[in-house]
Structure 1
């Protein structure tokens, strides 16, 4: 539940340059930022163990579907909604919606724990709201408070999501580092496209038809042995 002081509107901070926007977002979305992203595979580990993902090509196809038809696109919409939010009540609705569109118990924990860790860290360093929020919602709120460019935030957040899953696959398939980076590079135009396509999207546009990814996330809850938390 969202508690505490009313949400600070993004006009409460002076405008920042694009260069500073990029550097701030680079820090927030870096693997070094303490949200524990390395511990989650978003169901990818299940697909790897089943043999559905056994090559760089398999990985690229899988991630493209997740970004376009699943969690990637939904996270963009949720982030934008949180960025434009003007009250705690509206923010609570957005956060509950983020939980509702999570396809499994592990995905709920994934977004809650990362979001909580993100909010706690940004609150200490940048003075943002430390309310426990789902990860894309927390990023959207913090970006609005800091007056970071929302389109840039969405694109870089989507790229960071893809990057984390590529890193998980490099460890679990296994793939070579160069193969992994080639997959990530190939997904850059798609990240940009999805970021642009969600500019006018609202919560009513949330959906998911990445069924294999959702099923993999559900099956991961009983997967043994396993390395990742989701």
Structure 2
């Protein structure tokens, strides 16, 4: 267990071996790259997800500590909560199981451990719904996404966007995880701060970890999905009132 693991949750996690997967078609791959891109107009780049507060507290202070932070948050946060939920929402959208979609959306909102985290998932969910609505105005599932109260959440919206891209579930989760990792590395470059070469090394480490994390998420049943990162929640709550901030709260 690393220091950053204890900082985020105080718990360890196990993974599974990656499953074989056929490569996506070129058009699908490009649409997934679009969804994972920081240029997607959903504002993901404007959040640090507790990292800026961790820098302020001295818990993240160099490349090594920033890399551990991203890696542990990927495994213990995203890999246990958002990625399993994206997989389950993907299946629900595919089956047109709208009550299931609504229940998953409620789970995301109820398990966000700070006001900042809840605002982030709702704001990004609304923005992705607007993007989808302009591209696929006739899809009743997109209309249903916009009707989720009080707002659609990011993982649920991303699952529908990935389905529209023509992706399989595993490809959708890889795109979601990589987009998150790229935003987090960019946040570290600004907040620590770090240089571009350090950022590329950090992103390379995240890329190596994403496959096993995604495969574990795909194998996670409903009753094993969890959102339990108490120290991360405390840092996020502290960030809401942090005196000087680069990132949104």
User: So what's the TM-score if we normalise by structure 2?
Assistant: 0.81
Instruction: Provide, for residues 110-166 of structure 1, a one-character-per-residue CA deviation record: whole Å limited to 9, x for no partner.
Output: 011011101111221244515241111101122224431110110121111111011
Where does the alignment leave 5 or more consecutive residues of structure 1 unmatched? 1-16
Which residue, out of 169, 175, 182, partners 2:201? 182
Per the TM alignment, residue 212 of structure 1 is displaced from its structure 2 partner at its CA by 2.6
TM-aligned CA distance change 1:209 to 1:90, over 3 Å: closer
- Distance in 1, Cα, partners of 2:42 & 2:177: 16
- The residue correspondences of 1:166-177 to structure 2 (distance < 5 A) are 166-177=185-196
**Equivalent pairs, count:** 215
Stretches of structure 2 that go unaligned for 5 or more consecutive residues are 1-23
Within 5 Å, give how 1:189-228 maps onto structure 2: 189-228=208-247
Structure 1 partner of 2:99: 89
Q: 1:59 aligns with which of 61, 66, 72?
A: 66
1:38 aligned residue: 45
Is this contact kept in 2: 1:65–1:210, CA < 8 A?
A: no
Partner Cα separation in structure 2 for residue 211 and residue 163 of structure 1? 23
Runs of 4+ in 1 over 6 A off after TM superposition: none
Matched, 1:117 2:127: yes
TM-score, L = length of structure 1: 0.87
Q: In the aligned structure 2, how far is the partner of 1:99 from the partner of 1:65?
A: 22
Q: Tell me the equivalent position of 1:47.
A: 54
1:80-107 CA distance string (max 9 Å, x none): 1111113221111000001112111100
From the superposition, tell whether residues 222 and 52 of structure 1 become closer, same or farther in structure 2 (CA, over 3 Å). Answer: same
**Alpha-carbon distance in 1 for matches of 2:193, 2:75:** 24
For the residues of structure 2 that align with 1:78 and 1:68, how far apart are their CA atoms? 14
